[in-house]
Structure 1
Amino acid sequence: MKVIFLALAFPKMDKTKYLYTQLVSQFHENGHDITVVAPTYDDTIVGLQIEEGVKVIRVKTLPLFGVGLIKKGIANVLLPYQYKSALKKNNIGLDFDLIITPTPPITLYGVAAWLKKKSKGKLYLILRDIFPQNAVDLGMLKKSGPIHYYFRRKEKKLYAKADHIGCMSQGNIDFVKKHNPSVSADKLHMLSNWGDIIPLAQEEKINELRQQEGFQDKFVVIFGGNIGLPQKMENIVNLAIACKDEKDIVFLIIGRGNEQENLKNLIKSKNVKNMELRDGLPQKEYMKWVQMADVGLISLSEKFTIPNIPSKALSYYNTKTPILASIDLNTDFGTILDDLKVGVWAEAGNTLDLKKKLMLLYKDAVLRKEMGQNGFEYMKEYLSSETALNIVLKEAGLA
């Protein structure tokens, strides 16, 4: 079967293994002819590349990450034109049986619709982001303004054009149904965030890391990943301040993002002594740090009206790390934590309750171990990239 995957964030395949690179690898390993179109990671590397045996067309784009909203918006709007041009320039035949595109971004609608028309193939949407409503929630866009209207129109077109839509949770399905009544319910189905188990480091290596970093007598609460408005890191700073009398608890933040500098300044201005901020790490090293931690943090802004399901939970499942989540009340992620018994949560902004939930984990090593093991077993059984592949093929009627 001939497949094309239109990607936004798609690292070099031999450097980082995450949900999209793993899914693409599954297509390739199962004998499918898959081509990826994605931004380049190096402006000197453009055009058709072979990465881990997969054809990847690397496209030079305007900066898509770490820039202001206007620059980011322009870069995203230009993507479909740049992708079309790259496909033509590299003489790629357009006879695809399956076209896969994730959100973000919804702006790839143009090239996805063009490919569907040219190839007569099926269009499968991996819905990981409900935009532009998430931007409205965070005050980044004004609802009913011209920019919102433009992107909302793109969103509606994408849902209409897609033959199948894989959603992260039941909450996502319900949200799409409620706010897009014209979308056929038959298109919508569950496609949970997925990831393949990465082998854990030996215990002696983790102990060495603890010793090296001075954490041998510390209870480490870790947060890893993007530091931006959606994460509302002020809530985690407030938790750290509330825990200042617990001298062995340390909060470790590893990542980058548009709010990184503001977070540094907040930690400094509030004189937070039990929180350390580190830059992002290569995946292999980062997983060691997560494995070293006692608790894994997830934080979502209380402003969200859309049901986000954070993919960073996968790294916690993988390393058998119990989860403490500060989340809005519109996501069903808290229900997932409760049902699977893999962590605890509190409403974002409720520092007292969040500290109470942290203390529950802090005081109960047996509970932490049980929750960590539950997450690991769940990921191994239900969240592999092979499972994701089978769902995509089955729902698309191509299994």
Structure 2
Amino acid sequence: MKILLLCTKFSLNENDPWLTNELAEALQLASHEVTVACLDWSGDSGRQTVELKTGSGVRVIAIPPVMTRSPFPTLNKVLKWTLSSIWGHLTLRRRLRNQAFDLVIGFSPAVTMALPILMLTRKMSEKSLLIQWDFFPYHQQQIGAIPSGILFQAAKLVETLLIRRFDTIGCMSPANVKYVQDHYDLRPTQHVDVLPIWAKGEVLTDIDAEAVRNEYELPSCRPIVVFGGQLAPGRGLNDLLQMAELAEGADSPLYFLIIGSGPLEAAVKAYLVSGHRNLRWIPRVPRPEYLKIIQVCDIALVCTVRNVNVPTFPSKTLDYLRAGLPIVASVEKSTDYGDFLLANAVGISVEAGEPSRLLAAIEALLQDADRLDMMSKEGPGCFIQNFEVTHVARQLLDIASAT
């Protein structure tokens, strides 16, 4: 089968892969011919398009974004999406000329690759599948990233029209499936199904926990609660910092570790500059190094924000499970993520927006050694059963073929 993967994030460093790298490799190793067209959203504007083949044989076309600079951030974003989409369309029309695919796989938000999607779905492919992770523009509106009114309505219209181009939609959980069906005007023939998020199930390297804690200036005896991922709106960073401040004020032995970078780094820096001594921040590191660090922690933290109705299923869960870390989640009411943690005995959850309840949940779990041990043992098996990329790739093809 000839497969085209449309995305806005794909690592050209094979030692630091992202989720799209792992899916493309799994499909290629399953004897399919995979091409990745990446409109590199985080890349530098003005550089040349890069075309290469990975070690597993995946053809990659990495296209730089088009960016403008003006005093108006919203206008800059709209122009980036529009102009980058046009540039991506022109580049792919030239490089994929006279080629056809059996399956085109896209990712939400579809608006980021609008013209390539219009070109490649239905015209150059037999079947198409959208992986629905980001419920644009609903989530962005609810966290204040997009204003309500005309802009939101226009974004919703464009995103819906693009979603309707796909034959099948894959969502991370049953709650996600229902949200798509309730909030987007789908075609009657479109099929929506659960397609879990994924990661490669390599065995983690054995580490010397004491040496790693020393290397990264982490306390040797205090319990460490780790939060890994992008520091961006919607990730519940304020709840985390408020909880850390409460813990320090109560003389709690908890120590907090944040690993990641993003637009909200300033909030973390401000917490540290103000004199707090119970938190360490490590900017984003390559994934192998990240996996090494989180293995020396005691509890993993997942945070979202309250007052949103979009049900999330955070991707950081997968590496936490691989590392055998019990998960404590602070999540919105609408999600079924907390139900998943409980059903699989790998974590617990509280409602987002309540730092004191979150702190109490973490401290109570740390006092239950038997439950902690059980969660730690269940994590790797839960990952393999639900999220290992070769299984998910097979499931993706089954879902796409069913339409």
TM-score range, shorter chain: over 0.9
Give the TM-score normalised by the residue count of structure 1.
Answer: 0.92
User: Which of 282, 288, 303 is residue 284 of structure 1 equivalent to?
Assistant: 288
Provide the rounded CA distance (Å) in 2 between the counterparts of 1:175 and 1:214.
41
User: Which of 43, 46, 51 is residue 48 of structure 1 equivalent to?
Assistant: 51
Provide the rounded CA distance (Å) in 2 between the counterparts of 1:341 and 1:184.
37
User: Which of 372, 381, 387 is residue 368 of structure 1 equivalent to?
Assistant: 372
> Does structure 2 retain, via aligned residues, the 8 Å contact 1:8–1:105?
no
Matches within 5 A, 1:134-173: 134-143=139-148, 145-173=149-177
Provide the rounded CA distance (Å) in 2 between the counterparts of 1:63 and 1:266.
32
Provide the rounded CA distance (Å) in 1 between the counterparts of 2:204 and 2:122.
45
C-alpha displacement of 1:182:
4.1
Go from structure 1 to structure 2 and tell me whether the alpha carbon gap of 1:68 and 1:256 turns closer, same or farther (over 3 Å shift): farther
C-alpha displacement of 1:164:
0.3
C-alpha displacement of 1:25:
0.4
CA RMSD for the aligned pairs?
2.2
Query: Could you give the per-residue CA deviations for residues 100-135 of structure 1, whole angstroms, max 9, x where no partner exists?
Result: 101134332332121124224211000011000011
Partner of 1:275: 279
One-letter amino acid of the structure 1 residue matched with residue 8 of structure 2: L
C-alpha displacement of 1:267:
4.4
Provide the rounded CA distance (Å) in 2 between the counterparts of 1:5 and 1:150.
26
User: Which of 107, 111, 119 is residue 102 of structure 1 equivalent to?
Assistant: 107
**Number of residues paired by the alignment?**
394
1:312 equivalent to 2:316? Answer yes
Partner of 1:87: 92
Go from structure 1 to structure 2 and tell me whether the alpha carbon gap of 1:69 and 1:193 turns closer, same or farther (over 3 Å shift): farther
> Does structure 1 retain, via aligned residues, the 8 Å contact 2:89–2:115?
no
Query: Could you give the per-residue CA deviations for residues 177-199 of structure 1, whole angstroms, max 9, x where no partner exists?
Result: 22235444861100011112232
Partner of 2:232: 228
SS at match of 1:79: helix
Partner of 1:378: 382
> Does structure 1 retain, via aligned residues, the 8 Å contact 2:102–2:125?
yes
Structure 1: state its 5+ residue gaps.
Answer: none
SS at match of 1:256: coil
Provide the rounded CA distance (Å) in 1 between the counterparts of 2:168 and 2:84.
22
Provide the rounded CA distance (Å) in 1 between the counterparts of 2:104 and 2:95.
18
Greater than 6 Å deviation, 4+ residue runs: none
One-letter amino acid of the structure 2 residue matched with residue 272 of structure 1: H
Which region of structure 1 is more displaced relative to structure 2, 55-64 or 37-46? 37-46
Structure 2: state its 5+ residue gaps.
Answer: none
1:329 equivalent to 2:329? Answer no
Give the TM-score normalised by the residue count of structure 2.
Answer: 0.91
> Does structure 1 retain, via aligned residues, the 8 Å contact 2:311–2:336?
yes
Partner of 2:134: 129
C-alpha displacement of 1:266:
4.0
Identity %: 25
Provide the rounded CA distance (Å) in 2 between the counterparts of 1:180 and 1:316.
32
> Does structure 2 retain, via aligned residues, the 8 Å contact 1:8–1:104?
no
SS at match of 2:139: helix
